[in-house]
Structure 1
Amino acid sequence: MGEKKKIIFAGGIIGIISVLLVYFGNPANMGFCIACFLRDIAGSIGLHRAAVVQYIRPEVIGLVLGAFLISFKNKEFESKGGSSPFIRFMLGIVVMIGALIFLGCPLRMVLRLGGGDLNAIFGIAGFVCGIFIGVYFLNKGFNLKRNYKMTKIEGHIFPIVNIGFLILLVAAPAFIFFSESGPGSLRAPIIISLVAGLIVGILAQKTRLCMVGGTRDMILFRDKYLLLGFISILVFNFITNLIFRYFNLGFENQPVAHTEWLWNFLGMVIVGWGSVLLGGCPLRQLILSGEGNIDSVISVMGMLVGAGIVHNFGLASSPEGVTFNGKIAAIICFVFIGIVSYANSEGLSHVKSNNLAKKQS
């Protein structure tokens, strides 16, 4: 019961902080959005030139450094990696494409619903569907092979890179881009955003909070521990939105959202399925990166590059809807994830090998 109380408490704090960040300046229903924030960072360092979404988000820096500090303090920090790095990189790109078709990561999906955006219901349905598909392949033996212990410096580089991002944010040199309008221009003060990120990073590391893990564990093991955190975020975010009078129930006129239900659904199918294969949602990947997991760093790098690709190739959705390029990209993503899932599922490939051997004999 003690562990359950901890994750409910952590989820509640995250739900409340997300609304407070909006109060202090972040876009509505976007107190935290890993996909959106990585997109903004990608724009700030020139990976794309969409002027309305360029800013080094201190929340991401805080998440990584919070996870690093608490894992180092508790002697849980461990440098390890080497598990199918390029597949993980490509899956990071795919997850980002799906998220920016929906317009939000799994965490923002919950926050959007907590703020009254009913379009998020289709996202949640797609997300759960994607997790079910991913779990099917897990049951068929899907894995990306083992990882290996690495030198300590390997695990320290990503937290150091985030310190570098913080220096660039504060110094604001001319070669770093900052939005003057649009979602990228809406931000809470740096110190508030950084502290919020640190708190959430510590809580997420301590509780293993993961938007994907809750549903996955419920399906596989009937374990609702992580799911309680998911639900707690939603409940406390909803209550806090009511208190601050931010709650706006409906489908239309929702902030940074569109009403194309099919693509909201399909975008989050991609995110749910891809995240199961990676072993965690975008939030979880950042936390693991702070703990020294290089496989997760590779996944985050894929998401960062994916954000650049999405905006450079016109794949990102907008309040007006999903682009034609985005729809084509989603189909390609489904084909790619399907191939990766099948090729790395030992149960399925073993059956194929046996059938081939029987035909040859």
Structure 2
Amino acid sequence: MLIPKSFSIERKGGYSLMKKEKTTIVVAGVIIGVIAAMLVFFGNPANMGFCIACFLRDTTGALGLHSAAAVQYIRPEIIGLVLGACIVSLITKEFRPRGGSAPVTRFVLGAFVMIGCLMFLGCPFRMILRLAGGDGNAIFGLVGFAAGILTGTFFLKKGYTLKRSYKMPKLEGSIFPAVQIVMLILLVAAPAFIHFTEPDGGPGAKHAAILISLAAGVIVGILAQRTRLCMVGGIRDAVLFGEFKLLFGFVAILVSALIVNVALGYFHPGFAGQPIAHTDGLWNALGMYLAGFGCILLGGCPMRQLILSGEGNTDSVVTVLGLMAGAAFAHNFGLASSADGPTANGKIAVVIGIIVVAVIGVVNSRRKEA
């Protein structure tokens, strides 16, 4: 059988495009990994150059929504992520405000994702950075996270959906990025009603200079927006479509952060004594199982939700608010883990979360039409 020349050219062009996309994602991952490791050098907590869950938790505390004095600081990295994504989406005309897709369900899922993350003490991004720092406990988190995503993909195959979103006015999509500018002003002005962890008072007191953190957030926000980096999406796409390009980005983050950690003397392999971590393998796994399960039903990891928020997606804004509410619940009701391990309340909350997320998956699934 003869293959038309035009078909061969089209196939070759498609392969070249896919190769270019993979290269771009890997390069972005390398840059992000270096930035994350260097943020530790400039003052962020060890193995926490970037942690969306932890940083949203700190910001929630700074606003007085929880009273854990050790973790209260408006993190400029969060501000930078949203503004970076917003700026580049405006330039590329990808700023398309949309919303209205099951907001209450998204809020609840976001809250339980945060509770899962704070059981593990980190989001999927920090899970990778903990591995790059030699923290063996993150292996249990990775196994649980992958299992949660696989569970979520089961529901996707059954037709899970939170229904369509709708076009929103540009003003509606601009509110959350504008709020980030207000947050930056509050950080710099430091009025009395904003809470900050006292020096040497805990992880909230460890941070890079504002301009360094903000610039890092903007750069990562731009790269993540252009490449659609998402740990959840990477595993989901690999399972459903056999597409691994997003996973390559996170492998690049792991490798580049590892190299920088080794060079700076931050690589300390082992399980005991790891910074801001505990050694309970079962609950590390179950916490990230809940996070992975919830994220797959939301359509993206916490970082991806912030990037989409910068693009004007109000469904993702609601999810971020849910994440912040989850952080407040976790610290107000003793659900968050510590270096001493998980709490009894936290274990109960994670089990309840897994049940709730499973119910949401069942209720919002339907059989595909034959």
TM-score range, shorter chain: over 0.9
Q: RMSD over aligned Cα, in angstroms? A: 1.0
SS in 2 for 1:263: helix
Q: 1:310 aligns with which of 330, 355, 361?
A: 330
Q: After the TM superposition, which segments of 4 or more aligned residues of structure 1 sit over 6 Å from their partners?
A: none
Within the alignment, does 1:82 sit opposite 2:128 as a pair?
A: no
* Structure 2 letter corresponding to 1:285: Q
Q: How far did 1:335 drift?
A: 1.0
Aligned to 1:339: 359
* Structure 1 letter corresponding to 2:278: H
Q: How does 1:42-191 map to 2 (within 5 A)?
A: 42-180=60-198, 181-191=201-211
SS in 2 for 1:347: coil
The one-character-per-residue Cα deviations of 1:141-170 (angstroms, maximum 9, x if unpaired) are 000000000111000000000000000000
Distance (whole Å) between structure 2 residues aligned to residue 53 and residue 347 of structure 1: 44
Structure 1 portions without partners, runs of 5+: 351-361
Distance (whole Å) between structure 2 residues aligned to residue 41 and residue 111 of structure 1: 20
Q: 1:296 aligns with which of 316, 334, 338?
A: 316
Q: How far did 1:347 drift?
A: 1.8
Distance (whole Å) between structure 1 residues aligned to residue 125 and residue 324 of structure 2: 17
Distance (whole Å) between structure 2 residues aligned to residue 77 and residue 41 of structure 1: 25
Q: How does 1:210-221 map to 2 (within 5 A)?
A: 210-221=230-241
Q: How far did 1:206 drift?
A: 0.3
The one-character-per-residue Cα deviations of 1:45-89 (angstroms, maximum 9, x if unpaired) are 000000000000000000000000000000000010000000000
* Structure 2 letter corresponding to 1:304: M
Distance (whole Å) between structure 2 residues aligned to residue 124 and residue 74 of structure 1: 34
Distance (whole Å) between structure 2 residues aligned to residue 99 and residue 7 of structure 1: 25
Distance (whole Å) between structure 2 residues aligned to residue 205 and residue 27 of structure 1: 25
Distance (whole Å) between structure 2 residues aligned to residue 62 and residue 98 of structure 1: 25
Distance (whole Å) between structure 2 residues aligned to residue 18 and residue 65 of structure 1: 18
Aligned to 2:294: 274
* Structure 1 letter corresponding to 2:72: Q
Distance (whole Å) between structure 2 residues aligned to residue 18 and residue 148 of structure 1: 35
* Structure 1 letter corresponding to 2:97: S
Within the alignment, does 1:321 sit opposite 2:338 as a pair?
A: no
Q: 2:255 aligns with which of 223, 228, 235?
A: 235
Aligned to 2:212: 192
* Structure 1 letter corresponding to 2:57: R
Q: How far did 1:230 drift?
A: 1.1
Distance (whole Å) between structure 2 residues aligned to residue 243 and residue 168 of structure 1: 36
TM (norm. structure 2) is: 0.94
Aligned to 1:263: 283
Distance (whole Å) between structure 2 residues aligned to residue 289 and residue 65 of structure 1: 9
SS in 2 for 1:213: helix
Distance (whole Å) between structure 1 residues aligned to residue 367 and residue 107 of structure 2: 24
SS in 1 for 2:367: helix
SS in 2 for 1:52: coil
Q: 1:222 aligns with which of 225, 230, 242?
A: 242
SS in 1 for 2:270: coil
Q: How far did 1:308 drift?
A: 0.5
Distance (whole Å) between structure 2 residues aligned to residue 154 and residue 272 of structure 1: 29
Aligned to 2:59: 41
- Percent identity (aligned): 62
Distance (whole Å) between structure 1 residues aligned to residue 65 and residue 108 of structure 2: 17
TM (norm. structure 1) is: 0.96
Q: How far did 1:104 drift?
A: 0.1
Structure 2 portions without partners, runs of 5+: 1-18
Distance (whole Å) between structure 2 residues aligned to residue 10 and residue 270 of structure 1: 28
* Structure 2 letter corresponding to 1:48: H
